[in-house]
């Protein structure tokens, strides 16, 4: 009665279909007998026969049967096996394997439900498990756990070794006859395969592994598919031609501080065996006219389309460098290499036949053992040991195109023309200013104070700097010009950064480099007063900087020139420094 009420309540409380009454035979083959109740008789089994609690099932020498318990547990019995259903309550089930081999698959159980399988020697508690178990009547048993975990306990603690084990999937336990303690061991491939094969009754031996073999074939097929796909993708990649004509390359598209879209390409190349060339090319499809800030310098060039600017650094060594950059570290280490000369050229090359440029050269001074920028660069008679710049607008001249001329200036193939006005001659004697070009050299003054803003910067002020220095044309003291620079640290969207963006970003410095760039706008302006001695403060310097440019450009009137607007990305510097660190550190020694 109580059982009935209990069963009724449980039947209502649980989702329908979970409990279907008693254990049931799903399928069978060969000689199978069932004892439906505890006190019943052994009768021949048939499909869908029910076995109550206390009942049992056994197979003969060629029999096999699958029993399903109400909690969806499936038990497969092989031949010569006897199984008793000792307990089958809602929250506790226990099977007893008298002898033979069974495979049990227990699905997930309810929270407090217990499921145990007992053999003469031990008892196993399981939850959500699949395992096989074999035993003989005198207690020799063999347990293989396939999925889940089995808590195993000897009924009689053995003389040696532990009495309880928790056996996870992939392991098995065999009781041994030689007196050694039983311990779980990893399943071998063969044992696992035998346990995993199809235990359904009525199958011939070679049919049992059919499912496994089919799975293996499927795996082989998908493995093949993976292989052919990978090789197809590789083939696609192999077709993408790469012709490398430079050592290092980097590029980025971003917006500059004036809002123009900019594309920056950086390369490092080696024009000759003893020369390195690093350049930063900048292209803007459109360069809008802008009004400079009060601290900055006027721009007179107007709106321009397809604007090209570049910065180039060339360094020439006294020995040929090894062809491959990988050999440089040991080369610099082993030899006394020094640079012969170096030059920095910044140019606005929007028109190939009219180039506005600013160049600085450095020559090796053996006495000081370093590269020095002074009037020796232009081979001026009297040595003035201050910075020299060469600047102006180069146009196509007879026999020397603007590009060729700039190339010569880059190689420092120039000398003072001797006309006492800062004019230059090429190394072969022809005048640089053949009739259309306007190129001069100037040396930094030693008495005028340069202009620099801002003077002091509070925390988190934008990283923008304006500065200008006064230069003496031809070192004569009669004509002066101002070399003006605006420097900004900008992000990819053109916004000016602050120091706080770098120090308080809580993201790694490496990512910061990817998102930032340096922009510098350079121009050469006239001096209003043309007297360096009067410039004693930064404010006086700003007042002396004319809004008119020194050199006119693109057919503009006198004073209507242009600027050089370079965006410099750090991408390549990091890679170059890392590659050439041994070389650089040696050079500085």
Partner 1 sequence: MKKIILSALMAAGLAPAAFAAAPEDSKIFTPFFDMTLSEAAFLPSEGNIFSGGNINTQVGLLSKITQADHLFALYNFSYAGQGFAPQDSKQFTDRSMSHGFNLEYRRFLTDRFRVRPGVAFNTGYSRTGANEAWKNGLYNMNSAGAQLAADYTFDEEKNGYVTAQYLFRSIEFPNYTDLLAEFQSAGSQGNIDGGLNDQVMGQFSLRPNWNKFFGGVTYTVQNYRNQKVVENTGVYGDTKQRDTDTMLDFGFHHSLWIFEMYPMVSYTMHTSNQNFMKYKFLGDTAPEFAADYYNFKEMNLSVPVDLNITSKWAIGGAFNIQRRAYDKRMARNEDNDFTTSKQVNTMTTLTGSIRKRINEVAMVRLFGSFIVASSNTKFERYMPYNYTGNSFGIAYSLSY
Partner 2 sequence: MKRIILILLALFLVKSPVFAAIDWESKGMQIAGEIMANPAGFFYDFQQDLEATTPLPPGKRFGIQTSLFPTTIPMTYTNVSLKARLHGEGRIAPGVPQLDLVGGYWDMLAAKMATKDSETVDSAKFGGYYVGGILSASVSPRVRTFWGYKRSVLKAKLDFKAGEEPEFLGTTVSSFDTGFKDDFFIAGIETPKGVNKLWSIQLNYGLRTQTFSSKVSWYGKYFELGLNIFPEGVLVFHPVWNFHLNF
User: 157 touches which of partner 2, partner 1, none (CB within 5 to 8 A by kind)?
Assistant: none
Nearer to partner 1, 57 or 248 (CB): 248
Count of CB atoms situated within 10 Å of the CB of 232: 9
Q: Is 398 in the site for partner 1 (CB under 8 A)?
A: no
From 410, 423, 445, 563, residue interacting with partner 1 (rule: CB under 8 A): 410
Applying CB under 8 A, the span of 159-167, 261-269, 432-440, 467-475 interacting with partner 1 comes to 261-269
Quickly list DSSP for 39-67. Answer: T---EE--TT-EE-TT-EEEE-TT-EEEE
- Widest distance between CA atoms in the chain: 132
Cβ–Cβ < 8 Å for 379, 312: no
Contact of residue 386 among partner 2, partner 1, none (CB under 5-8 Å per partner type): none
Exposed/middle/buried for residue 368 (C-beta within 10 Å: 0-12, 13-18, 19+): exposed
Q: According to CB under 8 A, which residues from 448 to 467 bind partner 2?
A: 457-461, 463, 465
427 lies in the binding site for partner 1 (CB under 8 A): no
Nearer to partner 2, 52 or 513 (CB): 513
Q: Total number of residues binding partner 2 (CB under 8 A)?
A: 53
Is 422 in contact with 389 (CB distance < 8 Å)?
no
Q: Which of residues 506-525 bind partner 2 (CB under 8 A)?
A: 506-511
Is beta strand 92-106 parallel, antiparallel or unpaired with respect to 114-118? parallel
Q: At its nearest, how many Å lie between partner 1 and the CB of residue 517? A: 12
Is residue 70 a contact point for partner 2 (CB under 8 A)? no
Q: Which of 30, 54, 296, 329 binds partner 2 (CB under 8 A)?
A: 329
Structure tokens of 358?
């600013």
Contact (Cβ atoms closer than 8 angstroms) between residue 520 and residue 566: yes
Which lies closer to partner 2 via its Cβ, residue 247 or residue 438?
A: 247
410 phi/psi in degrees, rounded to 5: -60, -35
**538 phi/psi in degrees, rounded to 5:** -65, -35
Based on the shown chain and the rule CB under 8 A, indicate whether residue 533 belongs to the binding site for partner 2. Answer: no
Is 110 a binder of partner 2 (CB under 8 A)?
no
User: For 211, phi and psi rounded to 5 degrees?
Assistant: -60, -45
| Residue from 419, 505, 536, 547 in contact with partner 2 (CB under 8 A) | 505
Return the ∠ at Cα 331 (arms to 330 and 336), rounded to 5°: 125
Residue 2 vs 244, nearer CB to partner 1: 244
- The verdict on 168 binding partner 2 (CB under 8 A) reads yes
499 binds partner 2 (CB under 8 A): yes
- Does 324 interact with partner 1 (rule: CB under 8 A)? yes
Using CB under 8 A as the binding rule, whether residue 581 contacts partner 2 is answered as yes
Compare residues 166 and 261 and give the one whose CB is closer to partner 2.
166
Question: Is there binding between residue 582 and partner 2 (CB under 8 A)?
Answer: yes
Q: How far is CA 161 from CA 164, 184, 547, in A?
A: 9, 11, 97
Residue 376 binds partner 2 (CB under 8 A)? no
Task: Show contacts with partner 1 in window 473-532 (CB under 8 A).
Answer: 510-511, 513-514
Extract long-range pairs of 112-120: CB within 8 Å, 24+ residues apart: 113/71, 115/71, 115/73, 116/92, 118/86, 118/94, 118/155, 120/155
Residue position matching structure tokens 């024009």: 271
Q: Mark the segment that binds partner 1 (CB under 8 A) among 54-62, 272-280, 385-393, 430-438.
A: 272-280
Bridge partners, 191 (sequence order) = none
Q: Which does 241 bind (CB under 5 to 8 A by kind): partner 2, partner 1, none?
A: partner 1
User: If binding means CB under 8 A, how many residues of this protein chain bind partner 1?
Assistant: 83
The region of 134-142, 223-231, 370-378, 497-505 touching partner 2 under the rule CB under 8 A is 497-505
223: contact with partner 1 by CB under 8 A:
yes
| CB closer to partner 1, 147 vs 502 | 147
Nearer to partner 1 (CB atom), residue 3 or residue 238: 238
323 in contact with partner 1 (CB under 8 A): yes
Q: Is 333 one of the binding residues for partner 2 (CB under 8 A)?
A: yes
Rounded to 10 degrees, the C-alpha dihedral 225/231/232/237 comes to 150
Q: Is 222 in the site for partner 1 (CB under 8 A)?
A: yes
Q: Does 568 bind partner 2 (CB under 8 A)?
A: no
Site residues for partner 1, 158-197, by CB under 8 A, read: 189, 196
Positions in 64-103 near partner 1 (CB under 8 A): none
Q: Are strands 545-549 and 114-118 parallel, antiparallel or unpaired?
A: unpaired
In this chain, which stretch among 55-63, 241-249, 438-446, 581-589 interacts with partner 2, using CB under 8 A?
581-589
Q: d(Cα 554, Cα 199) in Å, to the nearest integer?
A: 92
Cis status of the peptide bond prior to 454, with omega within 30 of 0: yes
Which tokens is 227 given?
A: 């292989």
Question: According to the binding rule CB under 8 A, does residue 329 interact with partner 1?
Answer: yes
175-204 residues in contact with partner 2 (CB under 8 A) are: 183-187, 192, 195-196
Q: How many CB atoms sit inside 10 A of residue 248's CB?
A: 18
406 binds partner 1, rule: CB under 8 A: yes
Closest among 119, 126, 172, 170 to 149, alpha carbons compared? 126
Q: Give me 426's structure tokens.
A: 């090429």
Are the CB atoms for 356 and 551 separated by under 8 Å? Answer: yes
The item of partner 2, partner 1, none sharing an interface with residue 503, based on CB under 5 to 8 Å by kind, is partner 2
Among residues 445, 461, 442, the alpha carbon closest in space to that of 453 is found at: 461
3-class SS at 294? Answer: coil
Residues that bind partner 2 (CB under 8 A): 107-108, 127-128, 145-149, 166, 168-171, 183-187, 192, 195-196, 329-330, 333, 457-461, 463, 465, 489, 498-499, 502-511, 574-575, 577-579, 581-582, 585
């Amino acid at each position: 009665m109580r059982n009935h009420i209990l069963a009724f309540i449980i039947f209502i409380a649980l989702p329908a279909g979970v409990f279907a009454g008693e254990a049931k035979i799903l399928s069978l083959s060969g000689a199978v007998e069932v004892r439906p109740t505890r006190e019943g008789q052994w009768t021949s089994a048939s499909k869908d026969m029910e076995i109550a609690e206390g009942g049992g099932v056994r197979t003969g020498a060629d029999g096999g049967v699958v029993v399903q318990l109400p909690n969806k547990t499936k038990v497969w019995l092989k031949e010569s096996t006897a199984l008793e259903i000792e307990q089958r309550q809602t929250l506790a089930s226990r099977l007893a394997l008298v002898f033979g081999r069974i495979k049990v698959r227990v699905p997930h159980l309810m929270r407090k439900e217990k499921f145990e399988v007992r053999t003469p020697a031990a008892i196993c508690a399981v939850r959500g498990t699949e395992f096989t178990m074999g035993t003989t009547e005198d207690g020799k048993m063999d347990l293989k756990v396939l999925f889940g975990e089995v808590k195993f306990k000897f009924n009689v603690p053995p003389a040696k070794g532990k009495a309880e084990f928790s056996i996870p999937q992939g392991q098995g336990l065999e009781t041994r006859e030689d007196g050694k303690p039983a311990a779980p061991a990893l399943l071998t491939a063969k044992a696992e395969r035998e346990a995993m094969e199809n235990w359904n009754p009525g199958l011939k031996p070679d049919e049992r592994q059919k499912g496994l073999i089919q799975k293996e074939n499927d795996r082989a097929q998908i493995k093949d598919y993976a292989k052919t796909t990978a090789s197809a993708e590789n083939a696609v990649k192999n077709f993408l031609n790469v012709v490398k004509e430079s050592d290092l390359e980097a590029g980025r598209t971003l917006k500059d501080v004036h809002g123009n879209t900019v594309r920056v390409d950086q390369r490092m190349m080696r024009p000759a065996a003893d020369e390195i060339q690093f350049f930063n090319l900048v292209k803007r499809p459109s360069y809008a006219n802008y009004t400079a800030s009060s601290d900055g310098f006027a721009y007179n060039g107007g709106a321009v389309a397809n604007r090209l600017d570049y910065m180039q650094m060339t360094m020439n060594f006294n020995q040929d460098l090894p062809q491959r950059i990988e050999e440089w570290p040991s080369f610099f280490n082993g030899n006394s290499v020094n640079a012969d000369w170096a030059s920095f050229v910044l140019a606005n090359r929007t028109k190939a036949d009219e180039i506005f440029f600013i160049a600085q050269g450095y020559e090796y001074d053996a006495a000081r053992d370093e590269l020095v920028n002074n009037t020796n660069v232009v081979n001026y008679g009297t040595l003035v040991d201050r910075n020299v710049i060469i600047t102006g607008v180069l146009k196509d001249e007879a026999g020397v195109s603007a590009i060729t001329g700039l190339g010569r200036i880059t190689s420092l193939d120039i000398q003072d023309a001797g006309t006492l006005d800062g004019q230059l001659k090429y190394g072969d004697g022809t005048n640089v200013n053949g009739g259309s070009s306007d190129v001069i050299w100037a040396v930094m003054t030693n008495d005028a104070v340069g202009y620099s803003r801002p003077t002091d910067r509070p925390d988190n002020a934008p990283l923008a700097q304006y500065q200008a220095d006064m230069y003496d044309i031809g070192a004569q003291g009669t004509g002066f010009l101002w070399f003006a620079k605006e420097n900004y640290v900008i992000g990819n969207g053109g916004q000016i950064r602050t120091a706080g963006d770098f120090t308080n970003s809580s993201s790694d410095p490496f990512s910061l480099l990817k998102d930032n760039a340096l922009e510098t706008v350079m121009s050469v302006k006239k001096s209003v007063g043309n007297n360096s001695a009067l410039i004693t403060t930064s404010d006086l310097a700003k007042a002396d900087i004319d809004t008119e440019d020194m050199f006119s450009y693109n057919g503009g009137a006198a004073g209507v020139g242009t600027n050089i607007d370079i965006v410099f990305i750090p991408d390549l510097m990091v890679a170059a420094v890392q590659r050439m660190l041994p070389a650089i550190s040696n050079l500085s020694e």
